[in-house]
């Protein structure tokens, strides 16, 4: 595999070619967005941010309305400022310093009726908006079913109400997930680019969330978890049915990306949102810092897709949906973005991180990087106790003795939480059909194929893992990679220490366990003898 330096060189050439193609003016997609007003929900999230950057960088839209809510006491303008401070926008600031003038915040909340938008603003949006991108979603698998319903289902309903009110609507793109219908009965089977039966009627689900308390609602939803492993996929499946029914007569489509990871090429190699540390990027982060020592995963094909391919699919899907609608085809179409055309197994991912990715390990690494992967839950639980929790308890105890803050047990609780969330997807696979997305890419002009590449076959998946590792270290760990020689020397020392300490630790653990067992046996025997003596 090529070094990260060689990949960086190619990425620069790719982005130069994209700039040239953008400036040529020979793009059908660009022409579609000329003088268009766009409305985006979820614009502060991972995909939403990347999509807004690409639209503003590559097209001549008139305005982008961005739905934002007040969060943690921060006003929407403060939140916008934080979004624009992301390194993602650095290139755009250099190329178009005044692009911010095209961005306008709409204060609201995608979980509320009318998206939390006041009447005057709603009327203005109805008059001006041409294209809607509904990206907002509650991704946290641990949130209540009520919260997930309000954002993922009711939010979709309210977006569709806005779409129906828009007087000059050209296209609507609803962003879902490839896993919305990746249920247990379809493991190792096909998931087509088609609508499937909803687990529950959308309006029924919304009414239940509005009227029933959390505990009762959780109990009512429990039977669906036989097929859908979490609240997120249940609510996304229901939201798709809402699009099918309520979207009738609208120029609307659904884009279903698989697991979205860092940018493969643009606008910055490996760019990833800081908040992604609590998702799949947390695995790369944990492995790179030497924190994760064991993982529960089968050697299945995993479906990672880079955010730039996803963004390009969303942007181009809006045009094709409009063209289909104008031609009289008003059936909603689904585009799946999957890595199935050049698959990667989970063990291959870990192998890249442990080998080629070792050159990217940051100076902040806590231990020698390497993890034991097993598909067996019982073995994983034993290894988790031995390699995570017992060392964490020892180190935290030592920290408390010297007056330092105990943190490692908290870290491993987060690791365990992340692992449990992703377990279903690390141990099962599906065959996601993507013919519509492939067709979408093939219909693009040569210029648009450069600007808006949505061909997953152009992505080297092993290289993507290396680029992703680079992005995690650069944008989440904030390591500038300038001290790599020191980091590698540190890893060499930690490797020696690891292979000295690990056998001693395991031997000590064995002796301690043996002693405890013998003492327990002795106490039980003595207690039994005492009881016998009494009777």
Calculate helix-pair angle for 461-471, 4-24, nearest 10 degrees.
100
Say how many C-beta atoms besides its own lie within 10 A of residue 248's C-beta: 12
Long-range contacts of 83-91 (CB under 8 A, 24+ apart): 83/43, 83/44, 83/49, 86/49, 86/273, 87/268, 87/271, 87/475, 88/49, 88/50, 88/53, 88/267, 88/268, 88/271, 89/53, 90/268, 91/57, 91/267, 91/268
Residue 441 and residue 29 in contact, taking contact as beta carbons nearer than 8 Å: no
| Domain positions in the chain | 18-273+303-341+430-442
pLDDT in tens, 358-380: 888 888 888 888 888 888 889 99
Give dist(CA 298, CA 286) in Å, integer.
18
Res 72: pLDDT = 75
The highest-level CATH class for domain 18-273+303-341+430-442 is alpha beta
Q: What is the pTM of this model?
A: 0.92
Q: Over pLDDT 90: what percentage of the chain?
A: 57
Residue identified by tokens 């998946």 is 461
Residue identified by tokens 């309305």 is 65
Give dist(CA 337, CA 355) in Å, integer.
28
Residue identified by tokens 């509005």 is 210
Res 65: pLDDT = 97
Res 535: pLDDT = 64
373 bridge partner residues: 295
pLDDT in tens, 461-479: 999 999 999 999 999 998 8
Give dist(CA 158, CA 55) in Å, integer.
24
Give dist(CA 500, CA 446) in Å, integer.
57
Q: What angle do CA 159, 165, 170 make, to 5 degrees?
A: 80
Mean pLDDT in order along the chain per 10 residues (535 residues) = 88 94 92 96 94 96 94 84 93 92 94 94 96 91 84 96 96 97 94 94 93 88 88 94 93 96 95 89 88 87 94 97 93 94 86 84 85 88 90 86 83 80 85 96 96 94 93 90 82 89 88 86 77 70
Res 242: pLDDT = 95
Which helix (H) or strand (E) element contains residue 160?
A: helix 155-165
Which helix (H) or strand (E) element contains residue 254?
A: strand 252-257
Residue 491 and residue 354 in contact, taking contact as beta carbons nearer than 8 Å: no
333 bridge partner residues: 253
């Amino acid at each position: 595999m090529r070094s990260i330096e060689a990949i960086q060189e190619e990425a620069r050439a790719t982005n130069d070619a994209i700039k040239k193609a953008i400036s040529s003016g020979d793009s059908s997609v660009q022409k579609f967005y000329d003088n268009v007003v766009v409305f985006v929900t979820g614009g502060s999230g991972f995909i939403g941010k990347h999509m807004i950057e690409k639209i503003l960088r590559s097209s001549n839209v008139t305005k982008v309305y961005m739905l934002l809510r007040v969060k943690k006491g921060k006003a929407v303008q403060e939140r916008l400022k934080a979004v624009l401070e992301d390194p993602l926008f650095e290139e755009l600031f250099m190329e178009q310093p005044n692009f911010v003038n095209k961005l306008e915040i709409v204060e609201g909340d995608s979980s509320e009726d009318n998206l939390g938008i006041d009447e005057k603003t709603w009327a203005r949006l109805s008059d001006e908006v041409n294209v809607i991108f509904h990206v907002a979603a509650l991704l946290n698998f641990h949130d209540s079913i009520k919260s997930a319903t309000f954002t993922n289902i009711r939010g979709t309903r309210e977006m569709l109400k806005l779409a129906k009110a828009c007087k000059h609507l050209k296209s609507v793109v609803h962003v879902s997930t490839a896993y919305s219908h990746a249920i247990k009965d379809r493991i190792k089977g096909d998931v087509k680019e088609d609508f499937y039966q909803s687990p529950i009627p959308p309006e029924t689900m919304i009414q239940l969330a509005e009227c029933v308390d959390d505990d009762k609602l959780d109990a009512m939803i429990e039977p669906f978890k036989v097929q859908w492993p979490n609240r997120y996929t249940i609510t996304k499946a229901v939201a798709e049915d809402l699009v099918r029914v309520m979207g009738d007569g609208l120029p609307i489509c659904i884009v279903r990306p698989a697991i979205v990871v860092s940018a493969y090429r643009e606008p910055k190699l490996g760019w990833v949102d800081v908040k992604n540390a609590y998702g799949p990027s947390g695995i790369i982060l944990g492995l790179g810092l030497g924190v994760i020592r064991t993982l529960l995963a089968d050697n299945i094909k995993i479906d990672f897709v880079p955010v730039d391919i996803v963004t390009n699919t969303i942007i181009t899907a809006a045009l094709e949906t409009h063209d289909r609608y104008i031609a009289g085809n008003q059936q909603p179409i689904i585009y799946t973005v999957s890595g199935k055309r050049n698959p990667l197994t989970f063990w291959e991912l870990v192998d890249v991180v442990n080998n080629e990715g070792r050159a990217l390990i940051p100076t902040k690494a806590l231990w020698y990087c390497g993890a034991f992967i097993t598909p067996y839950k019982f073995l994983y639980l034993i290894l988790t106790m031995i390699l995570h929790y017992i060392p964490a308890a020892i180190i935290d105890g030592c920290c408390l003795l010297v007056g330092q803050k105990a943190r490692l047990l908290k870290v491993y609780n987060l690791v365990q939480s992340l692992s449990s969330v992703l377990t279903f997807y690390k141990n099962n696979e599906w065959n996601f059909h993507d013919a519509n997305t492939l067709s979408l890419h093939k219909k693009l002009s040569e210029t648009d194929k450069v600007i808006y590449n949505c061909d997953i076959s152009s992505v080297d998946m092993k290289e993507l893992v290396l680029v992703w590792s680079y992005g995690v270290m650069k944008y989440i760990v904030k390591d500038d990679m300038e001290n790599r020689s020191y980091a590698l020397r540190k890893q060499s020392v930690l490797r020696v220490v690891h292979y000295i300490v690990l056998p001693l630790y395991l031997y000590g653990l064995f002796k301690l366990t043996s002693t405890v067992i013998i003492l327990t046996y002795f106490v039980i025997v003595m207690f039994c003898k005492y009881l016998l003596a009494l009777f």
